[in-house]
Amino acid sequence: MKLYSYFRSSAAYRVRIGLNLKGLAAEIIPVHLRHNEQHAPDYAALNPQHLVPLLEDGPHRLIQSLAILEYLEETRPEPAILPPDPAGRARVRALAQVIACEIHPLDNLRVLRYLVRDLKVTNEAKDQWYRHWIVEGFDALEKLLAGAPETGRFCHGDMPGLADICLVPQVNNARLAGMDIAPWPTIQRIAAACAEIPAFAAAHPSKQPDAE
Ligand SMILES: N[C@@H](CCC(=O)N[C@@H](CS)C(=O)NCC(=O)O)C(=O)O
């Protein structure tokens, strides 16, 4: 397998964690987003969205981190990253989507660039925007996690899964933005529990071949 990745990309970070949890090896092909390599013709031909991650698995070329993770779950079911029951799977997917569909897209590099370059928003206002969507998303996520009997050591029970895979990179982004996670104690606790797992630790941006 080949994973087109950027060390700081949280969507690629999700797939790196998923591969590690399932014990799967993938060659990392770095795509430097700050140097605009996602827009290079060779890469754009692979992914017309000009985004990472992209996973090649034999003849299959897969994009969108959640779709990739579901593909890995279906093709390599053990260890599972989704619970066995439909209601549990719906809960885990919902938690994952709170992050991957409601926080992350608003804070993506191309959105931030558009705010500054096209809409002439100041850097201060751009940073305020960035933090705003994390605060709003984490406030909801904290309530969803803290108030639920299904929450265990991890987002759903005592085994890490899809929701944790999405949570950890988003917490990392928040910390990189100088945010304190303490106001969300359940999120903080779960992120700390994940950090102890080698599959999560090895996927961290600082451990990537293209890390700077
Ligand atoms: N929904 C997509 C999001 C992918 C995405 O936004 N990737 C970012 C890095 S985290 C990217 O490639 N950004 C390039 C850009 O904004 O120009 C997924 O989950 O894979």
pLDDT tens digits, one per residue of 180-208 = 999 999 999 999 999 999 999 999 999 99
Q: Which protein residues touch ligand 1 with a CB less than 6 Å away?
A: 9-11, 33, 38, 51-53, 64-66, 100, 108-110
Q: What is the pLDDT at residue 207?
A: 97
Distance 31 CA to ligand 1 centre (A): 11
d(CA 152, CA 100): 21
Distance 50 CA to ligand 1 centre (A): 8
Ligand 1 atom nearest 9 alpha carbon: 10
Read off the amino acid at residue 154.
F
Nearest CA among 38, 12, 4 for reference residue 110: 38
**Confidence class for position 154, pLDDT limits 50, 70, 90:** very high
Nearest CA among 83, 76, 77, 133 for reference residue 108: 133
Full DSSP string of 107-168: G-HHHHHIIIIIS---HHHHHHHHHHHHHHHHHHHHHHHHT-TTB-SSSSBTS--HHHHHHH
Query: pLDDT digits over 27-74, tens only?
Result: 999 999 999 999 999 999 999 999 999 999 999 999 999 999 999 999
On average, the pLDDT of the chain sits at 98
d(CA 97, CA 166): 8
pTM over 0.85: yes
Q: What is the pLDDT at residue 147?
A: 86
Backbone angles phi, psi at 41, to 5 degrees: -55, -40
